[in-house]
Amino acid sequence: GAGVSQSPSNKVTEKGKDVELRCDPISGHTALYWYRQSLGQGLEFLIYFQGNSAPDKSGLPSDRFSAERTGGSVSTLTIQRTQQEDSAVYLCASSFGTSGSYEQFFGPGTRLTVL
Amino acid sequence: GQNIDQPTEMTATEGAIVQINCTYQTSGFNGLFWYQQHAGEAPTFLSYNVLDGLEEKGRFSSFLSRSKGYSYLLLKELQMKDSASYLCAVMDSNYQLIWGAGTKLIIKP
């Protein structure tokens, strides 16, 4: 596809369950970002992948959160033992990550609701 | 610490002009972005400034003063479809985007 895609678009889960969120970046983009956005709030940075470098995990709120990027393309964000405060929209973005091309293109997001 | 400040909400009239300000304090500077986000949708790119001055793109213009840590987004000939949140973000020395909380712009007929 031409843009960043994310799945699922909506996820409702029970407290304590694990969830996996998927992101397919734009082909050729080496940088991939995960953000979280609560209702009416700004974007909260979670994790950043750039090429084959070690990811920047400085934004992950707890050790229940993890992410991987296989083959430098698709990324999965995993939340273990979900809590109600994890409810938010999770946005993925990708970019070329090279000088002069830092514009981030966003996917439609996954709305996570933890009951 | 790193900080991006922008007004929480602004109201303007259809056909008018509105200026949304953004001030920042970050660890290094590699450019400033403005994004538009309609309710329930993902942010979309509007502009990127890395040098001082004004960048014009149709009805939208963005200004940057690095010495003052200040930017503004200027929207002219406002249309109802411009009702959205406008997010200011600064790329720091680690090439990470630091995001403001966004300015909700309400356009009235």
Nearest to B99 among A42, A103, A105 (CB): A42
Q: Please determine, for residue A100, whether its predicted confidence score (pLDDT) is greater than 80.
A: no
Residue A12 makes CB contacts below 8 A (sequence gap 6+) with A113, A115
Alpha-carbon distance of B54 to B42, in angstroms, equals 26
Paired tokens of A1: 């596809």
- Return phi, psi of residue B80, to 5°: -60, -35
| More confident call, A78 vs A96 | A78
- The answer to whether A108 faces chain B, any CB pair under 8 Å, is yes
- The reported pLDDT for the residue numbered B59 is 96
**pLDDT tens-digit readout, A60-74:** 999 999 999 988 799
Alpha-carbon distance of A111 to B32, in angstroms, equals 28
- CA distances from residue A102 to A33, A95, A98, A108, B66 in whole angstroms, order as listed: 12, 6, 6, 19, 18
**pLDDT tens-digit readout, A20-64:** 999 999 998 989 999 999 987 889 999 999 888 889 898 999 999
Mean pLDDT of B5-22: 97
Contact between A104 and B97 using a beta-carbon 8 Å cutoff = yes
Contact between B44 and A42 using a beta-carbon 8 Å cutoff = no
Chain A residues close to B43, C-beta within 8 Å = 43, 91, 106
